[in-house]
Amino acid sequence: MSIFAEQTGIARESVTVGVGPLSIADVVAVARHDARVELDADALASVDDTRTVVEALADDPNPHYGISTGFGALATTFIDKDLRAQLQLNIVRSHAAGSGPEVEREVTRALMLLRLSTLMTARTGVRRITAESFAAMLNAGITPVVHEYGSLGCSGDLAPLSHCTLAAMGEGEVRDGAGNLVDAASALADAGIEPLALAEKEGLAMINSTDGMLGMLALALTDLETLMATADIAAAMSVEGLLGTDAVFAADLHALRPQPGQGVSAENLRRLLEDSPIVASHRAPHPGGVQDAYSLRCAPIVHGAARDTVAHARRVAEFELASAVDNPVVTLDGRVESNGNFHGAPIGYVLDFLAIIAADVASMSERRTDRFLDPARNHGLPPFLAHNAGVDSGLMIAQYTAAGIVSELKRLAVPASVDSIPSSAMQEDHVSMGWSAARKLRRSVDGLTRVLAIEVMTAARGIDLRAPLAPSRATGAVIGALREQVAGPGPDRFLAPEIEATRQLVASGAVAAAASGVVGGLR
The set of catalytic residues is: 65
How far apart are alpha carbons 89 and 68 in whole angstroms?
Answer: 14
* Neighbouring residues of 487: CB distance < 8 A, sequence distance ≥ 6: 493, 498
Please give the Cα distance from 45 to 282 (Å, whole number): 69
- State the distance between the two ends of the chain, measured CA to CA, in whole angstroms: 21
- φ, ψ for residue 143, nearest 5 deg: -120, 110
- For residue 211, the Cα-to-chain-centroid distance in whole angstroms is 13
Query: How far is the C-alpha of 260 from the C-alpha of 254, rounded, in Å?
Result: 10
How many other C-beta atoms are found inside a 10 Å radius of the C-beta of residue 117? 28
Q: What is the DSSP letter of 174?
A: E
Query: Before 258, cis peptide (omega within 30)?
Result: no
Report the DSSP pairing between strands 181-183 and 329-330: unpaired
Q: Which residues is 41 bridged to in the sheet? A: none
Q: How far is CA 185 from CA 106, 127, 139, in A?
A: 22, 21, 16
Give the SS3 label for residue 428.
strand
In a 13 Å sphere around the CA of 392, the CA atoms on its Cβ side amount to: 18
Beta-bridge partners for 183: 173
3-state SS of 303-328 is HHHHHHHHHHHHHHHHHHHCCCCCCC
d(Cα 314, Cα 75) in Å, to the nearest integer? 35
Contact 132, 188 (CB under 8 A): no
